[in-house]
């Protein structure tokens, strides 16, 4: 009962937040609605038993990305003179009727190809009973510390390089006096 209620609330928060982002005319409000949508996705991860992904979703996306977006909007001013109801800047139309028709036809063909590929999997799908959801944090930790230790260490060096690069870029420049 609790899992069903959490699923419905999380799904409503995710979808409602996403639609609110689309229809919001204020950029700051759109960032807050996006935060709500990210929390809903974290709730969906919690429902399926992926507790590590739920915590990562909350820390990385809800805690990092949205705060970064809010800071960037506040620092740049976020002018909304040329913003339409979808939050996108109004630009002149690109292409003509021929290019739009070609793009629509290419999209239709690509959709048919994807449906043809998926039809083979759907036709041969065997429903298996679901297993119990077990905590994933311990299993991910063991796999990262044993089988994938090299990739884990390489990613830490990559993140260190990104941090040093960000510090170098943000450092004020010294002017040379000749």
Q: What is the CATH number of the domain that holds 49?
A: 1.20.120.1200
- Residue 155 domain flag: yes
| pLDDT above 70 (res 146) | yes
Same domain, yes or no, for 12 and 72? yes
Query: Would 108 be classed as within a structural domain?
Result: no
Residue where a domain stops, chosen among 89, 118, 149: 89
- In the numeric block, the tokens 């048919």 are attached to 112
Q: Which of 43-52, 113-122, 149-158 has the lowest mean pLDDT?
A: 113-122
Please enumerate, as own/partner, the contacts of 93-102 that have beta carbons within 8 Å and a separation of 24 or more. Answer: none
CA atoms within 13 A on the CB side of 14: 14
CA distance 141 to 130: 24
SS (H, E, C) 47-61: HCCCHHHHHHHHHHH
Q: Is the pLDDT of residue 78 over 60?
A: no
Residues 145 and 80 in one domain: no
Do 143 and 83 share a structural domain?
no
Neighbours of 48 (CB within 10 A): 14
User: pLDDT-based confidence at 81, cuts 50/70/90?
Assistant: low
Burial class (CB in 10 A: 0-12, 13-18, 19+), 32: middle
83 φ, ψ (degrees, to nearest 5): -100, 130
Among 89, 108, 127, the domain boundary falls at: 89
74 is a domain residue = yes
Tell me, yes or no, whether 15 and 84 share the same domain: yes
Mean pLDDT of the chain: 78
> Considering the domain boundaries, does residue 177 fall inside one?
no
Q: Which residues of 3-28 are buried (b: 16+ CB within 10 A; e: fewer)?
A: eeeeeeebeebbeebeebbeebeebe
Place of tokens 């036709």: 123
178 pLDDT exceeds 60? no
Q: Are residues 11 and 77 in the same domain?
A: yes
pTM of this prediction? 0.53
Instruction: Identify whether residues 8 and 79 lie together within a single domain.
Output: yes
Domain of residue 52, residue span: 1-89
């Amino acid at each position: 009962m609790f899992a069903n209620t959490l699923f419905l609330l999380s799904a409503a928060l995710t979808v409602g937040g996403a639609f609110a982002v689309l229809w919001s005319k204020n950029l700051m409000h759109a960032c807050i609605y996006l935060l709500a949508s990210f929390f809903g996705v974290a709730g969906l991860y919690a429902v399926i038993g992926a507790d590590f992904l739920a915590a990562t979703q909350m820390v990385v996306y809800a805690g990092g990305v949205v705060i970064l977006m809010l800071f960037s909007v506040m620092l740049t001013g976020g002018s909304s003179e040329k913003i339409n109801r979808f939050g996108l800047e109004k630009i002149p139309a690109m292409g003509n009727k021929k290019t739009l028709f070609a793009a629509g036809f290419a999209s239709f063909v690509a959709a048919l190809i994807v449906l043809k590929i998926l039809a083979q999997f759907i036709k041969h799908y065997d429903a298996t009973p679901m297993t119990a959801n077990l905590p994933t944090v311990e299993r991910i930790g063991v796999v990262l510390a044993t089988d994938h230790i090299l990739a884990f260490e390489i990613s830490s060096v990559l993140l260190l390089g990104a941090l040093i690069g960000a510090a170098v870029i943000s450092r004020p420049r010294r002017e040379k006096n000749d």
